[in-house]
Chains A and B, each alone.
Chain A
C-alpha cells in the first residue's frame, strides 16, 4: 500500500487543537508510526481519511466490506483498525468478533456518522476500544488512534452521553430486577464526573485540570467505564445489544 510515506515524520499530533497533544500517549519514543487499517464502505471517505492522516500514521490497508476486511486484517496485522459501524455485509461488530478470535492484540476504533446508541453500543460491546464521529478533525483522529494503540479508551462526547444515559441511576426497569454484579452495573461518582465533562466537550487533559487529577487517572477512569460498558448486564445495554443480535 502506498499511502503515508511522507518523510516529515512529525509525531507531534494535535497542534492547534486544544489539550491533548503533548500530554497524550501519542508521542512514541521509538518514532515509529502507528499501523492503521481502514474499513469503510465509502471510497470517498477512505481517501479523505487517508489524506488527512498522511504523515501521522501508517495506513497499511483498507477494505470496504466485512469479509475482505477480516481476511486483509489477518494478513497485514495492523495495530489499530478504524472501523465504520455500518457495512453492507453486516455490522462493524462482525469484523470485531472475527478478528478478536484470531488476532486478539488488534485494537478497534469505531467511526460512525450514526447517532443511534444501539449501533455504537453494539460495536463497543463486541470489543472496540472507543468511538468517534465522522465529523472529528484530523489531529483529533490521530490522537484518538494513538490512544487506542496505547491501550486506552477513547470516548467522544456522544458516547459519554450514551453511557450516562444507560447507567442512569434508578431508571424504572432497573429497579425491579436484581443486579448480578453491582460493581459492573453502576458507575462511581468520579466516573460520572469524568463522563459529564467529556460530554461537555472537554479533552482528557482539560478534564484532568478541572478535577485536579492527572491525565493518567482520567485514562484509568475511562478505561474502567469502557470495561463496565462491555461487561455489564444492565437492562439498557443488553437491550441495545439484543437489538443488534449480539447476546
Chain B
C-alpha cells in the first residue's frame, strides 16, 4: 500500500473550486445546524449565487447570504419590485443570473454564452417569434401585454442562454424545474404547487382580459389583415424557425448521447480499469490474476449480452440495505480489508439509488486500494427526503489540492454520476488524517421500508 497510485484512479476533487469545498468542510451533512452558513451571513465575501436554498437562479439566496437578511425578505422585495416596475426588475434578475458566478464557479454563465453561437441564434429566433406575437397583441389592443414587451423579450432571450450554458448541476436543477407541472417527480411538491398557482393566475388574468374585450366586435375587421400579415411573416421566417427548432432537437439528442457515453466510460472505469489495476498490482500471484480475469470476463459478458451493467446492483439487491451489504462483501473479498457497514432505515432500489450505491462502491474500493487503513466505515441512512452514504477511512489521506485535474476516479465515477441524477458528493481529506466521502441523493418515492427482523 506504500506505493504511489499509478493508474487513472485517485481521489480527484480537483474539478471543484475552493469555494464549496471549504464550505462543506465546516458543514458536511445537511442535518447539522448550519454553522458555516450562519458564520458567513453578513460577511464581506463577494456576492455569489447560492446553490442550495434556490428557487430560480439563487440570486435572492445569494443576497441573503451576503447581507444576512432573510431570503424570504429578498424574494418578496423582488416580486413586489418586479410588479411595480412593470417587469423591468425581472431583466435585472436575469442579468444577475447571467453575470454573477454561482458559488464555487469561477466563470459566469454570461461569459460562456458569448461564445455560444447557436444559443444566440436561437435567442434571435425566439425574439422574432415574440415580436410577432407582440405585434398581434398590439393589433388586438391588449395593452397589458404590450407594456411588458421589453422585459419579456430580454428575459426570454436571457433564459434561453442560461438554459444552454449553465453548468451541469444547475442544468439538472433547471430541467427538473422545466418538466410539465405535476409530471416532474424531481421537483419538490411546494414548487409544483407554486407553479400551478402562478399558471392559474395567468390563465385567469388572460380569460378576464378576453371577456372584457369581447364586446368590442370591431376587432374582427382587422383580424383578416392580421391573419394575412402573420401568414406572410410565417412564410418568410418559417424555414428559419423550423431549422432552429430542428437544431435544438438535434443538440438535445447529441447531449443525451454524450451523457450515455459518459455513463459508459464510468462503467468501464469501475469494472475493467479497476480490474486491470488490480492485476498489475498482483502480477506475481498467478492464481489471483486468473481469478480476477475470469470474474471480469464474466462481468463483461453479462454486460454486453445480457444488459446487466457492471458496478450496479441489478438483480442482486432489491433494497439499499441489501446493496450496502453486497458492497461490504465484495470489497472484503476482493481487497482483503474489513468494511464496517451500518444502515439505518431502508428503501427499494430505483435507478437513482443504484447510482448512489455505485458511487458508494467506488468510494469504498478507492479507500480499500489507496488509504492503507485496515477498516473502512460505510454508513447509509435512508431518510424521508433523501438517502445519504458516508465512506470513511483512517488511512493516509491526501491533499485535495494536489490531485491532478485529469484523474478520472472521483470526478467521473462519483461526482458526475451523482450530479447527473440530482445527487451530490463531497470529499474531505488531509494527509495523515484519513478521508471521508459524503454522498447524498434525493428520493422520489418517500416510503420507508420497515427494517426486516
Interface, chain A (partner B; CB < 8 A):
17-18, 117-118, 133, 135, 157-158, 160-161, 164-165, 168, 171-172, 189, 192-193, 196, 199-202, 210, 212, 243
Contacts and interface: CB of A to CB of B under 8 A. Distances in A.
B342 A161 contact: yes
B364 to A, nearest CB: 12
Nearest to A117: B451
Interface of B: 28-29, 31-32, 35, 338, 340, 342-345, 375, 377, 379, 381, 390, 392, 394, 434, 436, 448, 450-451, 453
Contacts of B345: 165, 168
A200 B390 contact: yes
B450 A157 contact: no
A192 B342 contact: no
Given A157-B340, A158-B342, A201 B377 contact: yes
Contacts of B342: 157-158, 160-161, 199
Contacts of A202: 392
A199 B390 CA distance: 9
Nearest to A212: B35
Contacts of A158: 340, 342
B29 A196 contact: yes
A201 to B, nearest CB: 3
Contacts of A193: 31-32
B381 A196 contact: yes
Contacts of B338: 135
Contacts of A196: 29, 31, 379, 381
Contacts of B394: 17-18, 201
Nearest to A236: B451
A201 B381 contact: no
A29 B31 CA distance: 39
A164 B344 contact: yes
Contacts of A189: 31
Contacts of B343: 161
A201 B448 CA distance: 24
A202 B393 CA distance: 10
B379 A157 contact: yes
Contacts of A168: 344-345, 448
A34 B329 CA distance: 36
Nearest to B451: A165
A157 B21 CA distance: 26
A72 B157 CA distance: 84
Contacts of A161: 342-344, 379
22 contacts: A17-B394, A18-B394, A18-B434, A118-B453, A157-B340, A157-B377, A158-B342, A165-B344, A165-B345, A189-B31, A196-B29, A196-B31, A199-B342, A199-B344, A199-B379, A201-B340, A201-B377, A201-B394, A202-B392, A210-B28, A212-B35, A243-B453
A160 B343 CA distance: 10
A158 B341 CA distance: 8
A200 B377 contact: yes
A133 B450 CA distance: 24
Nearest to A240: B453
B386 to A, nearest CB: 14
Contacts of A200: 377, 379, 390, 392, 436
Centre residue among B340, B344, B434, B453 by max chain A CB count within 10 A: B344
Given A201-B377, A201-B379, A212-B35, A171 B340 contact: no
A172 B450 contact: yes
Contacts of B28: 210
Given A133-B340, A161-B342, A168-B448, 14 more contacts: A17-B394, A117-B451, A157-B377, A158-B342, A160-B342, A165-B344, A165-B345, A168-B345, A171-B450, A189-B31, A193-B31, A193-B32, A199-B344, A202-B392
A19 to B, nearest CB: 8
Contacts of B35: 212
A144 to B, nearest CB: 15
A196 B342 CA distance: 10
A82 B303 CA distance: 49
A152 B342 CA distance: 22
Contacts of A165: 344-345, 451
